[in-house]
Amino acid sequence: MSIRERLSGNEAVAYAMRQINPDVFAAFPITPSTEIPQYFAQYVANGEVDTEYVTVESEHSSMSTCIGASAAGARAITATSSAGLAFMYEVLYVAASSRLPITLACVNRTLTGPININNDHSDSMGARDSGWIQIYAENNQEAYDNYLQAMRISEHPDVRLPIMICQDGFITSHAVENILLEEDTKVKAFVGEYKPEHALIGRDHPLAVGPYDVCPYCMEHKVQQAEAMKAAKKQILAVAEDFEKTFGRKYGFFEEYMMEDAEVALVLIGSTAGTAKACIQKLRKEGVKAGLIKVRVFRPFPMEEIAKALEGTKVVAVMDKSEGYNACGGPLFAEVRSACYDLKDRPEMINVVYGLAGRDCAVEDIEKVYRHLLKIRDTGEVESRYIHMGQRSNKEEIL
């Protein structure tokens, strides 16, 4: 039976970690993820877990410790944000290419510079092509639930890839919400024991992890890694189905909100979905056929599924909480627009970059986007496909 509680997103993730009782936690603090290792350290001190808690001198060392532990056959975890994730950049690729199912709790915070500690998705989006599975949460409940599903996905023999469970810094990480927690025994049974097929410890045959890979073999290994990411799609859905049967909460690659008859729609990631849902409820009362796709799984990217969900809409705004610096839009826009390329009847599509470095996005801001989409629907004219919303400027970009 579920337990009703009130927790912050960081507390919820640390609670999930305690329930799973991993073998190794490599810890280095950085705002706004610091509370996760802090809460977990208390579990260690109280004897509530058997985890080897390793305090290191940097985030690079944190991920390196996880790599060594995972290669040895241990279930290894860590948590970080922003520059901490960027400092891991080199070894993120090592973890993925070595096919080590490490679980990382990423509390999204903007990357410097200028120096800023507030939320956007520039940190995890910067690592989007490193070979890690990426799953994002709208709220504290999803942050907890996603973490419970993470290891079942990443440790599957067909996958064996590291996984990043992301939530919005301060917005969910520090805000306290009502949440349903599950009983320890049921969580342990759901997550299961980690039984690695290959490990440095406990095996009789020779094994090397992370060796130099010569030209006749290296590309084949990279293709195997790419195929594993494809296989992760099937496993994500299989774990979500079992999660629904076990705990009653349903998940998929993304959530469709009032998309059945939507003419104008938003596609976005994270906590802004709650703001968009409130706006949609208001617009629906006015007769506006507005909808939302909240992307939960960004890697592997559900290309065919998103295209199908957007088929039939007339105008779509993809909202990026990260700047792509490519002069034509953000990373989510690039993926979604590519996904819709093969549709026979493609919707008009624009990119709205918003919320950078914690810039607020309120219901009225979302409504401006929808009103802009309605204008495009009615006139057929798209003045700009690449818009920055919310910055102080004399230029009126969203009408």
Q: Which pLDDT value is given to residue 396?
A: 60
**Does 19 have pLDDT greater than 80?**
yes
User: Cα-flanking dihedrals φ and ψ of residue 216, to 5°?
Assistant: -65, -10
Asked if the peptide bond before residue 329 counts as cis, ω within 30 degrees of 0, the response is: no
CB of 58 closer than 8 Å to CB of 86: no
Contact 229, 303 (CB under 8 A): no
DSSP bridge pairs for 177: 7
Domains 3-247 and 254-388 share a fold: yes
How far, in Å, are 275, 337, 338 from residue 304 at the CA level?
26, 12, 10
Residue 399 has pLDDT above 60, yes or no: no
Residue with tokens 């907890």: 144
pTM score, whole prediction: 0.97
| Domain 3-247 architecture | 3-Layer(aba) Sandwich (3.40)
Nearest Cα residue to 298 out of 306, 289, 309 = 306
Asked if 350 contacts 313 with a C-beta cutoff of 8 angstroms, the reply is no
CB neighbour class for 231 (10 Å; exposed up to 12, middle 13-18, buried from 19): middle
Tokens of 327: 């002069």
Residue 98's identity, in one-letter code, is S
Residue 127, pLDDT above cutoff 90: yes
Phi, psi dihedral angles at 275 (to 5 degrees): -65, -45
Q: What is the pLDDT of residues 271-321, one digit of tens each?
A: 999 999 999 999 999 999 999 999 999 999 999 999 999 999 999 999 999
Query: What residue segments make up the domains of the chain, in order of their start?
Result: 3-247, 254-388
Q: 254-388 sits in which CATH class?
A: alpha beta
pLDDT at 205: 80
Which whole number is the average pLDDT over 360-378? 97
Per residue in 253-264, pLDDT (tens digit) is 999 999 999 999
Residue 322 has pLDDT above 70, yes or no: yes
DSSP string for residues in 126-171 = HTTTSS-EEEE-SSHHHHHHHHHHHHHHHTSTTT---EEEEEETTT
Q: pLDDT tens-digit profile of 97-120?
A: 999 999 999 999 999 989 999 999
Rounded Cα distance, 95 and 44, in Å: 25
Specify the pLDDT at position 397.
61
Mean pLDDT of 314-343: 97
Mean pLDDT of 374-389: 96
